[in-house]
Amino acid sequence: MLQKSKKNPVSAMAMTAFALLLALAPVATSVYTVHVISVAMISYLCVLSVYVLLGLCGQNSFAQAGLWGVGAYLAGNILLKTGGGTLTAFVVAIAGTALLAFVLGFAFFRLKQYYFTFASIGLMTILNGVFMNWEPFSGGAVGMKNIPTFTFFGWQATTEQSKFYIVLVVCIVATVLIGLLFRSSLGRAFMAIRDNEMTADSMGINSLLTKSIAFAISGALCGAAGALHASLSGYLSYQSFTYNQSTIYLIMIMIGGTISPAGALIGTCVITILQEGFRSLQDYMQLIYGVGVILLMIFQPEGILGGGKALYERICERRKKAKAGSR
């Protein structure tokens, strides 16, 4: 059938293999490494949110870390103040962040092209200010302490390993859902807006509404990441949810490539390995990112994934030619 033709069988297979490998990590490595991977997977969710917004819909936002914070504080409030369980915290964090993003998107996307990006920088600054100063909601500068860990029907995730698997499951579910989105008519409407907004209009796509939905979906991913972060670390500080963090998410997707969720995965891995492997060079990290991104944009604007894909296609073509030649 026409519509069932698969877009990226190679990258889907590679990601499945990677998820399986990752599932073995707690057996093979130290508790510290397991924690680092859990934190990286939470970053991956935020980078995936950038993929939806930038990679699919062509809209660039610097506010993702702010939305991540909204999700985290919402979950924290549910767990600490209302006595709600993990599932309630999850649902509220995802729905609340998505709703906030949708409403803000509906206002912001009246601005065209990069003016939305400017507005998102403003939003990030405001959100960070809110986290720092709105004490009843966020605990202000002191932050939020002693957030309980994941609890499902009386079972508590106390070890790093069990928390790891919870984060992994959420990541896999999110990736599968985004994969389905890519193949849906909504996903194609996102791509139509990305490639040419005038065409999208002429194809009956309400671009304001559609872009707001894209922002809401990215908000839902950030909200999920926030809820995971709250229970994983047990402590929330406004210093986590900064403009700089949003920039790192963008760098991650630029390094990985915006063409598929695999790009988000590759970018997250590369930056996490850099951060962990070169802790002694921490002061120079910003510089390394800066130079790295500039070089990447010059030599491989589609990121590592784009470069890999081009290479793969070249090899396939060469093979085809060799076959044709041997006949």
Partner 1 sequence: MNAFANAEKKPKLVLVDVCKNFGGVTAAQDIQLEIYSGEVVGLIGPNGAGKTTLINLITGVYPVSRGKILFDGREITHQPTYKRALEGIGRTFQHPHLLDRCDVLTNGITGSDMAARKRGIQKVDLAKELPRLLACAGLEGINLSDPVSKLAYGQQKLLEVVRVLLSQPQILLLDEPAAGLNNREAEYVSALIQYATEKGIGVLLIEHSMELVMSVCDRITVLNFGTQIATGTPEQIQSNPEVIRAYLGGGDSDAEN
The residue among 101 and 205 lying less far from partner 1, judged by its C-beta, is: 205
Q: How far is the CB of 182 from partner 1 (least distance, A)?
A: 10
The residue among 81 and 183 lying less far from partner 1, judged by its C-beta, is: 183
Give me the helix-helix angle, 261-277 and 303-326, nearest 10°. 120
The residue among 52 and 224 lying less far from partner 1, judged by its C-beta, is: 52
How does DSSP classify residue 156?
Answer: E
| Sequential DSSP letters for 122-152 | HHHHHHHHHHHH-HHHH-GGG-B------EE
- Number of residues near partner 1 (by CB under 8 A): 24
Q: How far apart are CA 47 and CA 142, in angstroms?
A: 27
Query: CB under 8 A: which stretch of 75-83, 120-128, 183-191, 236-244 binds partner 1?
Result: 183-191
Ramachandran assignment for 113, one of left (phi > 0), alpha (psi -120 to 50 degrees), beta (any other): left
Q: How far is the CB of 264 from partner 1 (least distance, A)?
A: 17
**204 near partner 1, rule: CB under 8 A:** yes
**188 near partner 1, rule: CB under 8 A:** yes
Q: How far apart are CA 92 and CA 246, in angstroms?
A: 22
Binding mask 2-31 for partner 1 (x = CB under 8 A): xx-x-x------------------------
**276 near partner 1, rule: CB under 8 A:** no
Binding mask 233-262 for partner 1 (x = CB under 8 A): --------------------------x---
Q: How far is the CB of 202 from partner 1 (least distance, A)?
A: 5
The residue among 176 and 203 lying less far from partner 1, judged by its C-beta, is: 203
Q: How far apart are CA 170 and CA 159, in angstroms?
A: 17
Beta-ladder partners of 152: 155
Residues 184-223 as b/e (b if ≥16 CB within 10 A, e otherwise) read: eebbbbbbbbbeebeebeeeebebeebbbbbbbbbbbbbb
How does DSSP classify residue 155?
Answer: E
**201 near partner 1, rule: CB under 8 A:** yes
Phi then psi for 145, rounded to 5 degrees?
Answer: -115, 165
Q: How far is the CB of 212 from partner 1 (least distance, A)?
A: 14
- When binding is defined by CB under 8 A, the residue of 135, 141, 195, 316 that contacts partner 1 is 195
**203 near partner 1, rule: CB under 8 A:** yes
**206 near partner 1, rule: CB under 8 A:** yes
Show Cβ contacts of residue 290 under 8 Å, excluding neighbours closer than 6 positions. Answer: none
Query: CB under 8 A: which stretch of 26-34, 131-139, 152-160, 193-201 binds partner 1?
Result: 193-201
**53 near partner 1, rule: CB under 8 A:** no
Q: How far is the CB of 55 from partner 1 (least distance, A)?
A: 10
Q: Are the C-beta atoms of 68 and 46 separated by less than 8 Å? A: yes
- In the complex, which residues of this chain contact partner 1 (CB under 8 A)? 1-3, 5, 7, 185, 188-189, 191-192, 194-196, 198-207, 259
